Structure 1
Amino acid sequence: MSFIDKEKERIKYNYQGLILFGFLFFYFITVQSDITRHKVIFGSGIEAEPLSFITYPLILGIVILIMYLNSHLFWIKEQGKKVFILRKYDIIPIDRKEIYTAKFKIIIEYVIKYIIYSIFTYILALVFNSYKEINLLKNSIEIIEVSLLALIVLAIVLFINILQDKKTKKEI
């Protein structure tokens, strides 16, 4: 069993799937209400605009999912205190790069799932509501923007974890 499989097993019973699908549901409700609002506005004779892929639940979902997974992958509760878990791996003969790579692969996997599921949710909402104002170029650019946002948040989290790793190493 590889290190990444052990990490997935360690956080298996947490609520990242529930968070993912909870935000997907929240995203669906937001897209559905935007479609309804647009249909009412455009039904009154105003020129139709394509519906934006990016909504607050999508952005909030990415940020919270990354923070939640980071918390469960890099922190552990011991004796009532949160402890940086990489100190526990000091005695294991695994390279830091391999540890960070495995943990961030798990986070990236969930973020990619969330973005892909959001795309499907968006498309299904448009199709089921017969919403014909679709701009593939705008939507593609928005998907790239969301992916860049996720990468920026991941980079910030990685930087914070590296700082925390150095700080806790000095304390020992």
Structure 2
Amino acid sequence: ALEQMGYQAESGPWRNFYLSGAQELRNGVAQLPTPNTASPDTVRAMDESLFFDFLGVRLNTEKAEGKHLKLNFVFTDKDKSFAVEMVHGVLNHSEGRLFDDADATINMTRDTLNGFMLQEITLEKAIEDGKVTVEGDQDKLTELVSCLDDFEFWFNIVTP
């Protein structure tokens, strides 16, 4: 049925959905190598505000339920600061603002952030090497990271 609906669909996106669903039902989800979409050029082009938006998308609301934390992020080489708050399963950020009552303040350079995004360095290693300093409760930063999801590149379209 999905294949026939795909052949009859006038809309390109609907045609692709129907035909992809039909192929999934016949062959399952292909476990092909996962492409790396985070190239160094893409990461460098992303501004810090977009990075915090990306973290908000990755936030697992079920893991974050009932947790409340306030973090300040200071990028020492760019003279930029962000107030980040996780409350009611949502992550919000404000550029150019810092919380007076923050649980922790995280100081780092933009290059260190790029290293995280490209998975070249872990948070623990960056703290150990002195590339990241945390003033306050470091466990709150760890708590934020523990509430983030990693998405599978290949996923089911029509099967549960």
TM-score, normalising length: structure 1? 0.24
Higher strand share: 2
Higher helix share: 1
TM-score, normalising length: structure 2? 0.25
